[in-house]
Amino acid sequence: MALLETDGLTKEFGGLTALEDVDIAVEEGELVSLIGPNGAGKSTLINTITGRLTPTRGEITYAGTDLIGMEPFEIAQLGVGRTFQTASILPELSVRENVQVAAFAAEHGSFRVNFLSRRDSFDEVQRLTDDILATIELDEKAGMEAASLPYGDKRRLEVAIGLATDPDLLFMDEPTAGMSPTETEMTVELIENLLAEWGMTIFLVEHDMDIVFDISDRIFTLHQGELIAKGTPDEIRDHPAVREAYLGGEEQ
Amino acid sequence: MRTDNVQPDIEDESSLLSVDRWDRIKHTERFIFLVSVAFVLTFSYLFSRAPVISDVTQGYHGLTITILIWSIFALGFNLLLGQTGLLSFGHAMFFGTASYATALFSIHVFNEPLTIVVVGMLSAVAIGVVAALILLRLHTVYFAIVALAIGQFLYFLANNPLEGITQGINGLEVSRTPVLGVVDLDHEYGGILGELVVNNLYLFVGVFFVGVVVFITRIRKSPYGLIFKAIRENETRASFVGLDVWRYKFAAFLLSAGVSGLAGALLAVNTQFAGVERLYWSISGDVVVMAVLGGLGTLAGPVIGTFVWFYFKGIVNGYPMLGNYWLLMLAVSFTAVVWAYPDGLWGMITSLTAELREPKALAAKVKRRVTGGSSTEGSAGGER
C-alpha cells in the first residue's frame, strides 16, 4: 500500500476549481516531484494534504489514516512535515531556537505540561537540534537572530525546521527558490542524503527542471488543477500533454 | 572539538567582570532570584527612608507595597502579551474577581491570609478557563475587544445584579488575621529589619513577588517559554511543526490569569477591601500601559513600568501645581518613551548599556550626530 494516497481530491474556491479529481500515490522511500505552470494548483495540493485547507471532495490517506478534518498539528504529529515556499521562520528567535521549537514538537508531541522544567534538561531535544544544525551546516550561525540571516540561509533554516519535526514524509515547497548555485547544489545533495541515509520520503515542488528531472523517481504534472501526467522523468519528458501545457512554452 | 578551544579561554579570563561572564551570569535563575530578593529588601528603604535618595523620590512605605502588588499584575499580564503575543484589554476581570473571591471567602468561609490569597488566585484561573474558551477562537483586535467586553460584563454584573453579594460600590471589607494564625501582618520591626522592610505585610507581599519572579523565570526557561515565543512570532509555523497551538495558548492564558489573580488577591489583603472598581476597564488599560512602558517580554520591564506609573500617580500627583497634570505628564512620557524605544524603558536601558560597551562605536555615533550625520543616511537605504 502506498504511504500517501489521494482519491478524487477536489478543492474549489467559490467558483474556481483549484484542484479537480487529483489521484496520486506516493510510495515509501521515493522522491516524487510535482511540477506545473504557475497557478496550476501545486501549493493548493500541498496545503490541502497538510491540513491548511479543507478539500471540497475526495480522500487523503497517510499510512492508512484518513487525514480529512485533521488539524495541521495532528498531521505533522503523524510524521508529515513540510517546508514553506516563502521562508516561514521565527524571525526574532535565534537560529538554534527556531530548530529547537520543531525538535520539541517531534520529541514531546503536540502538547505536554512541563512549564516548570528547564528546556536544556531535555537531552534528546538538544541532540536532535544539534544534529539538524550540523546537517544543514547552520551550526556556526546557531546563535544568530533568524531575521538577520542572509536570504539563502533563511531558506536553509526553513528546511532545517521542516527536518527537525522528524518527518517520514517531507513536503518541500520550492526549497531552492532564491538560492545561489552553490546553495542549490547543497540543497540537492541534502535531499539525496535524506533519501539515502535518513530513509525519508520526499514530495518536492520545484521550478528548476534540471533538478526535478535529475533526482526524481517519479513526477506528477498539474495543469489548471488537473493531474495531466504522472510517470518517470523520461516518460514525463516525452509526454505530449506535458510538453503542450508546460515544458513547450518555457523550456524551448 | 570546538568546545576544547573555547574552554581554556573562559578559564583564562581571570577578570571578575568580563562582559561574557556577566552575560552568562545575569541570565541564570539563581542570579535573578538573588536580585529580586535584594530588590524587595532594599526597595522600600531606598524609596522612602534612605538619606538623600528618598528626599529626591519623596516616596513612602505604603506605596512600595502597592507597587510590588501591581508589578505582579503587570508580570502576569506580560506573560500573555509579551511572551505569547495575545493582547487582552480585559485583565481587570482576573484582578477584580480574585479580589472579590478573597474577600468573600474571608467573610463567609475562613479568614487566613495565605488561604484567601490562594482562593483568590484559583478563582481567577476559573474565570480564565471560561474566558479562554470564548477568547481563543478570536484573533488580534477581536480578541482584545471581546476580552474588554467580558471584563465590563463582570463589572456590571458585580455592580448591580449581584449587589447583594458584592455590596456594589460600597465594597467588601477584609478583616486582617495573622498568617497561619501566628504571624501578625501589622507587626512592625525595629532596628535594621525595620529600616528595610518596616512590617510583616511588606514581607508577605515581597515573598509572593519573589515567588512570581522565580516562577516566571522558570516558565521562560522551560519549553513553554520557547513555544510561547514561537506562537507569538509565527503561529502558522508553530502548528505546522506539530504543536497544538490552542492548548499552549490556553496554558498561557491560565498562567497569566493566575498570576494576575494573585495580585488582585494580595491587593484585597493589603487594602483590607474589595470593590467593584477593580473590575473596571480602566484597570485593564493601566496594566497595559505599565507593561508596555516598562518593556514587553522582559522580567524587569513590567516592574519598572509599574514603578514609573505609580511614581506619577502617587508622588508627582502630590506636587503643587504640577500635580494636577500627572496623568498628562505620564501620557507624554509614555508616548515619548515608546516612540523612541518601542521596547520600553527596559529596552532603552539595555540598548544604552550595550552602546556603552562599545565606546568607539558610541563615540563615532555621537560625533556623527554632532557633525550632521551625513554618513549614516547613505548606508541605510543601500540594502534592499
| Span A198-210, pLDDT tens digits | 889 999 998 888 8
Give the three-state DSSP class for A81: strand
Number of residues written out for chain B: 384
How many beta-carbon pairs under 8 angstroms link A with B? 107
Q: Does A148 touch chain B (CB under 8 A)?
A: no
Q: Does A118 touch chain B (CB under 8 A)?
A: yes
pTM: 0.89
Interchain pair B244, A110: CB under 8 A: yes
- ipTM passes above 0.85: yes
- Taking alpha carbons only, the member of B270, B263, B248 closest to residue B83 is B248
Q: Distance between CA A39 and CA B122 in Å, rounded?
A: 53
Give the three-state DSSP class for A83: strand
Residues of A with Cβ-Cβ distance to B229 under 8 angstroms: 90, 92-93, 97
Residue among A111, A149, A170 with most chain B CBs within 10 A, to mutate: A111
pLDDT, tens digit, for every residue of A50-106?
Answer: 999 999 999 999 999 999 999 999 999 999 999 998 879 999 999 999 999 999 999
Q: Tell me the shortest Cα–Cα distance from B239 to chain A, in angstroms.
A: 5
Which domains are assigned to chain B?
A: 27-305 (1.10.3470)
pLDDT, tens digit, for every residue of B199-251?
Answer: 999 999 999 999 999 999 999 999 999 999 999 999 999 999 999 999 999 99
Q: Does B229 touch chain A (CB under 8 A)?
A: yes
Nine-digit cell at A65?
489514516
Which among A81, A91, A101 is the nearest to B238, CB-wise?
Answer: A101
Q: Which residues of chain B have pLDDT under 70?
A: 1-17, 372-384
Domain boundaries, chain A: 1-79+168-252, 88-166
Architecture of domain A1-79+168-252 in this structure = 3-Layer(aba) Sandwich (3.40)
pLDDT of residue A242: 82
Residues of B with Cβ-Cβ distance to A76 under 8 angstroms: 239-242
Q: What is the DSSP letter of B190?
A: -
Do residues B216 and B79 touch, judged by C-beta distance below 8 A? yes
- Taking alpha carbons only, the member of A185, A220, A184 closest to residue A203 is A220
Q: Distance between CA A154 and CA A151 in Å, rounded?
A: 5
Residues of A with Cβ-Cβ distance to B226 under 8 angstroms: 93, 97, 100-101, 104, 119
